[in-house]
A and B are shown apart, each in its own frame.
Chain A
Amino acid sequence: MTAPVDTSDPKQLGADTDGTQFMTFHDLAYDAGKTVFQRKAQPVGQGREGELLEVAMGPQHPSTHGVFRMDVVLDGETVVKLKPVFGYLHRNHEKIAENTSYLGSMPYTDRLDYFCSLTNNWAYALSVEKLAGLQVPERAEYIRLITAELTRVLNHTCLAGFLLQDMGALGTPLMYAFREREKILDLIESLTGARMMCNYMRFGGCRCDLPAGWLDEAKKVVAEYPKFLDEFDALLSGNEILMARTQGVGKLSAELAISAGITGPMLRASGVDYDLRKVDNYGLYSRYPFRVPLGSHGDVYDRYMIRMLEMRESLKILEPALKDIPEGPVVDPKAKLRGFRPKPGEAYGRIESPKGELGFYLISDGSPNPYRYRVRPPSLINLTILEDMCLGQTVADAIVTLGSVDIVLGEVDR
């Protein structure tokens, strides 16, 4: 399904056109027929195997987003082989979780994807609720929806900043992004007491109710956010340098994306319409109409634009949700915090985290600890096809491609 979108104006891309749920957009330059930058096909290792250079990028490297290492084999500047090396941040999350109570793992889930602790909390709470058959009161569902969408906006903002930094725009876009991040963090802090490690959701609800005046503050932030997005769009989305560095770089075909199990904005940038908020219909997402932006080229530019557009869609969910939130309890009165022992069984709960499908698989044997605890981290699975996206491109493009995957090492290595 394709909705007509005026692609000549980057601001228009996120605007409502009609009632359709899905939209597609094209790169500005492709559409206007004025491709800014012609990429030459790079010859790959033609009879010059002896001159290959192997470089270990990382684990201490400013552009690998933490302690990630990629061993690249270069022919001149062209990547002919790329081997990702994980494990520099393996913190035994799953093993620790199997030795502590169900609730005891909640703070550890914060530290998986440390940009989005609230969505991690939600995914874990959701799987335990499935396991134990708990119900969530409506107000708590609203709070979950609101915090998750705020987290999505926060994550995508930071990602755009980091991506631009990887391209060499040192400082400025990231400064703008972090300025906005602080505004959302203020909200999260006044709600949960912590800026990053929230530990907020509980099985059957949330830990505490909204503080007085929180909704008004949140409404203010949400109302002002589009201004920042417009600013970002005006400065960056149509920027020639950004288009030259990202269009046609790191292409990922829809077939490969599906067969590799890619999820999240990366999959949608390749044009596959798959968003768990629509597919699973968890939480209250069915109450609020929003559209799923889809890319058409699967390159880095599409991945960047998808995130810009998703932020606008998230704001569209947030605005009415902040008005509709009803009064009531925030935690199911039947839920037990102490001595929590679900009956034997297994459950898999998943949500659309800002990075993709985040799932928790739990097996209970009736004891206070899970018998098996497994995380399905979107970052790790999205990273596995890095080599396919980078082969034949220059090493500078490999950095940009890595930046567009949106990895957080806490989640990759766990």
Chain B
Amino acid sequence: MDDGLRNELSKQGVVVVKLEELYNWGRKNSVWPLSFGLACCAIEMMAASMARYDLARFGAEVFRPSPRQADLMIVAGTVTKKMAPQVVRLYNQMPEPKYVIAMGACAISGGPFKQGYNVLKGIDRYIPVDVHIPGCPPRPEALIHAFMTLQRKIDAQKVFGPDRAHYFDASKPSEFPVPLFGEHDLVPPKNPNVWEPAVVVR
């Protein structure tokens, strides 16, 4: 529908919205994160939901302790190799549609502890990440910005048509294999469906 007609109708008190818009509007303003802190970044995540930063303005203050009730997983902190299986398992337990924010240098790439023997070099090796926030720790404002970015992404997801969001397609995976401790390292070392090492072109 073109905007002129819609404007004309709204002047007459007839408000027309697409079902998709209504659906996404509701979803993007009530994202419930999983209350799940891993390390230092989790403190800034809490600070973002407390007085002064007040994440409730974006409808995301309802931190749920159970993955079954959560829409968003904020991976806030260092993912160690002992913890990575639990993180993937929690992700698998969340119902679709689900989103992931990788908060902080550690969750993105291992951060300052990348050289260590026990730190996963980025959670996006195992689960798809929607928004990355750099920083060590990112400020609460950065988390809020990530939220707004995620809201834009939710808003743009299609409900109908050939390019509709992946979670309407039953053939697309919504759960990913949980890595296990092998002889030397986590097995498998990555999930090729979501991550491939970057190819450096010189």
Residues on A with beta carbons closer than 8 Å to the beta carbon of B7: none
**Contact residues of B between 77 and 115, Cβ < 8 Å to A:** 77-78, 80, 82-83, 86, 90, 112-113, 115
**Contact residues of A between 59 and 73, Cβ < 8 Å to B:** 59-62, 66-67
* Known pairs A178-B51, A197-B136; A60 contacts B86 (CB<8 A): yes
A interface size (C-beta, 8 A): 33
Residues on A with beta carbons closer than 8 Å to the beta carbon of B52: 178-179, 182
Residues on A with beta carbons closer than 8 Å to the beta carbon of B82: 87-88, 90
Whether B80 and A88, one on each chain, are in contact in the complex, defined by CB atoms closer than 8 angstroms, is yes
Asked if B118 CB lies within 8 Å of chain A CBs, one says: yes
Query: Complex Cα distance A175/B50, Å?
Result: 6
Asked if B33 CB lies within 8 Å of chain A CBs, one says: no
Query: Complex Cα distance A92/B113, Å?
Result: 8
A59, A108, A195: which contacts B139 (Cβ < 8 A)? A195
Residues on B with beta carbons closer than 8 Å to the beta carbon of A95: 116-117
Instruction: Flag B33-72 by CB within 8 Å of A: 1 or 0 each.
Output: 0011111101110110011100000000000010000000
Asked if A410 CB lies within 8 Å of chain B CBs, one says: yes
Residues on A with beta carbons closer than 8 Å to the beta carbon of B43: 114-115, 196
Residues on B with beta carbons closer than 8 Å to the beta carbon of A197: 40, 136-137
**Contact residues of B between 106 and 135, Cβ < 8 Å to A:** 112-113, 115-119
Asked if A248 CB lies within 8 Å of chain B CBs, one says: no
Whether B80 and A90, one on each chain, are in contact in the complex, defined by CB atoms closer than 8 angstroms, is yes
Nearest CB of B to A274, in Å? 29
Whether B47 and A178, one on each chain, are in contact in the complex, defined by CB atoms closer than 8 angstroms, is yes
Residues on A with beta carbons closer than 8 Å to the beta carbon of B65: 61-62
Query: Complex Cα distance A48/B68, Å?
Result: 34
Residues on B with beta carbons closer than 8 Å to the beta carbon of A60: 36, 86, 90
Whether A114 and B80, one on each chain, are in contact in the complex, defined by CB atoms closer than 8 angstroms, is no
Nearest CB of A to B115, in Å? 6
Whether B118 and A59, one on each chain, are in contact in the complex, defined by CB atoms closer than 8 angstroms, is no
Whether A66 and B113, one on each chain, are in contact in the complex, defined by CB atoms closer than 8 angstroms, is no
Instruction: Flag A166-201 by CB within 8 Å of B: 1 or 0 each.
Output: 000000001110110110000000000001110000
* Known pairs A182-B51, A196-B43; A66 contacts B116 (CB<8 A): no
Query: Complex Cα distance A115/B43, Å?
Result: 8
Residues on A with beta carbons closer than 8 Å to the beta carbon of B119: 91-92
Query: Complex Cα distance A59/B87, Å?
Result: 10
Which one of A91, A93, A107, A196 has the highest number of Cβ atoms from chain B below 10 Å of its Cβ?
A91
Nearest chain B residue, comparing its CB with the CB of A88: B83
A66, A96, A107, A178: which contacts B115 (Cβ < 8 A)? A96
Whether A410 and B50, one on each chain, are in contact in the complex, defined by CB atoms closer than 8 angstroms, is no
Query: Complex Cα distance A197/B44, Å?
Result: 11
Nearest chain B residue, comparing its CB with the CB of A64: B37
Query: Complex Cα distance A409/B77, Å?
Result: 11
Query: Complex Cα distance A409/B82, Å?
Result: 14
Query: Complex Cα distance A89/B81, Å?
Result: 9
Whether B47 and A409, one on each chain, are in contact in the complex, defined by CB atoms closer than 8 angstroms, is no
**Contact residues of A between 87 and 105, Cβ < 8 Å to B:** 87-93, 95-96, 99
**What is the interface of chain A, defined by CB distance below 8 A to chain B?**
59-62, 66-67, 87-93, 95-96, 99, 107-108, 111, 114-115, 174-176, 178-179, 181-182, 195-197, 409-410
24 A-B contacts, Cβ less than 8 Å apart? A59-B83, A60-B90, A66-B42, A67-B37, A67-B38, A67-B39, A88-B80, A89-B78, A89-B80, A89-B83, A90-B82, A91-B39, A91-B78, A91-B80, A91-B119, A111-B112, A174-B46, A178-B46, A178-B47, A179-B50, A195-B137, A195-B139, A197-B136, A197-B137
- Which 9 residue pairs spanning A and B have beta carbons closest together? A92-B116, A114-B40, A178-B50, A179-B51, A62-B65, A91-B113, A88-B83, A182-B52, A175-B51
Q: List 4 other contacts, CB 8 Å, given A66-B38, A67-B37, A114-B40.
A: A89-B39, A92-B115, A176-B51, A197-B137
